[in-house]
Amino acid sequence: MNLGTLPWRRAVVLGLGASGFSSAQYLIERQVDLRVLDTRDNPPFREILENAYPDVPVHCGIYDDAHLNGVDVVVVSPGVSLSDSFLKKARSRKIEILGDIELFARACPAPVIAITGSNGKTTVTTIVSEMLKAKGLDVRVGGNIGRPALDLIDDQIPDVFVLELSSFQLETTSSLRPRSAAILNLSADHMDRYDDFGSYANAKKRILNNAETAVINVDDSNLAQLNISVGVQKISFSLSCPVSDQDYGIQSDGLHEWIMRGSQQIVRTDLLSMNGRHNILNALAAIGLVESSGYSVSDRMIKALTEFRGLPHRCEQVLSKDGITWINDSKGTNPGAAIAALRGMGRPVVLISGGQSKGADFSQFADAVQRYTRQVLLVGEDRLWIAEAIGNRVPVTLADDLNHAIRLASRWAQPGDAVLFSPACASFDMFKNFEHRGDVFRQLVQELIT
C-alpha cells in the first residue's frame, strides 16, 4: 500500500475508541511520532494498541497540556467535546485540531456520498450502499457506522465511499467534498453537548459546505429554507408532489402511490418492505443520493430497495398477536425519532418511552403523543420530567422497568393498536446501548406475550 506522507512530525490522538484507534494506526503507519491520551482508565482499544504498537506512549486518566509540547496536530475522537480544556490549550498554541473524517477527506481516492441527520442516517446509508452494490459497484461503507472511515482506504480503490456522519464528526471536518450529501432531518439531539439547537444544526450543515449536490428534506421545517452555498446544486425530497423535474416526492395515479422524480414514476410505495411513512422519506433520500451522484437507477437497484426490510431496532416488528402489533424502535434515542415513528404507525398507539433525555426539549414530542397515542408508559431515569412535559394530554403511567411497562401495555392495548417502544431517550441509564435495550424489549415481548 502506498501510504504517502503527512505534513506533521508529532501528533496527539485524543480518545481511544474505535475512531481513535483507527486514527492512531493511520498516523503510525505514516511515520508520525504519536502519543495517545484518554481520560478513561481503561478505554476500549488500549490493550489492542499497546500490543500492536508497544513503543507508542498511551496515557490514561488525568492529563495536562505538557502533552502538547512539540505537537503539530491533535486528532480528536468524536466523543470528545471541542470545548475540552486540553483542546482550548491546543488552540491557544495554534496547534491544528481535526478528526478522522478530515484525515480521510484529505486522502480520499474516490467519490463520496455522505449522509447526516438527526434520525434515519444508518437506514439511508445502508439503502444507498445496497442499491449501488446491486449495480455491481465496489462500495465501501463506514464512518459513524461499521468501520471507521480511515479503515476503508487501502490499495484497492473502490468505485464509491458511502459515509454516515454525525454532528460530532462534522465539527472537525472541512475538506470533505461529497459528490452528493444529504441532511435527512433536524431535531434537537445531544443537547447535553451543544449550547443550543442552532449550534447542533450548524454542525450538521457542514456536510454541505463543499458538496456538489445537496439532497434536502423540505418537509422538515428546520431545513425547508436552508441556505445552500453558491455552487452547490440543491435537490429536494418530500412526501408531497415533487417541486420540479429534478426533485423527488410522492404522487398517486388514482390506484397506487408512487415515488416520483418530477413527473417520472420510479417505484410504488406499497412495494417497499420497510414499515412507516418515515421510511418512504428514507427511500426518497436514498434514490436522490444515488441519482444525483451520477448513477441511473436500474431495475436491479429498485429490487434492492424494495427488498430492504429495515434495520434492527428501527420500527422493527417483533410480534403480531390478537390484532396487536409490537414494534421495537429502540434506536429512537431522541424526541424527533419517536415523533417520526409515531407518525408512521398509521394506527392507534400505546407508547413505551423513557431513559436519559440528554437535555432535549419534549414539547413537540408531547404534541405528537396527544395526536397519535391512547396511552403512554414511561420508564427510566427521566420519566418524571417527560411525564411533566406530556402533562394531561393523554393518560401517562410511570412503570418500574421495561418488564412492568410491557405487562401494562398488554392489558391496555386493543385489537388494531400498535405497542410502540420508541424511547426518545438514550439508553445508558439501564442498558449498555440502544441495541441491548432493543434486544431486551424483543426478548421480553416474546416471553410475556406469546
Instruction: Point out the residues that are catalytic.
Output: 121, 144, 190
Alpha carbon distance 88, 71 (integer Å): 14
Alpha carbon distance 437, 443 (integer Å): 10
Alpha helices per DSSP H over 114-260: 121-134, 167-171, 197-205
Alpha carbon distance 67, 124 (integer Å): 40
Residues 308, 130 contacting (CB under 8 angstroms): yes
Residues 138, 158 contacting (CB under 8 angstroms): yes
Measured from the Cβ of residue 137, the count of other Cβ atoms closer than 10 Å reads: 13
Amino acid identity for residue 383 in this structure: R
Residues 157, 109 contacting (CB under 8 angstroms): yes
Query: Among all chains, which residue has been given the C-alpha cell 445531544?
Result: 190
Looking at the DSSP assignment, which residues form a beta bridge with residue 426? 356
Alpha carbon distance 261, 290 (integer Å): 12
Alpha carbon distance 71, 41 (integer Å): 23
Alpha carbon distance 401, 286 (integer Å): 37
257-261 and 233-237 beta bridge pairing: unpaired
Nearest to 340 by CA among 126, 131, 117, 116: 117
Alpha carbon distance 96, 90 (integer Å): 8
Residues 6+ apart with CB under 8 A from 88: none
Measured from the Cβ of residue 36, the count of other Cβ atoms closer than 10 Å reads: 29
Amino acid identity for residue 393 in this structure: R
Provide the grid cell at 234: 440543491
Alpha carbon distance 287, 52 (integer Å): 42
Measured from the Cβ of residue 41, the count of other Cβ atoms closer than 10 Å reads: 8
Nearest to 22 by CA among 33, 36, 9, 8: 36
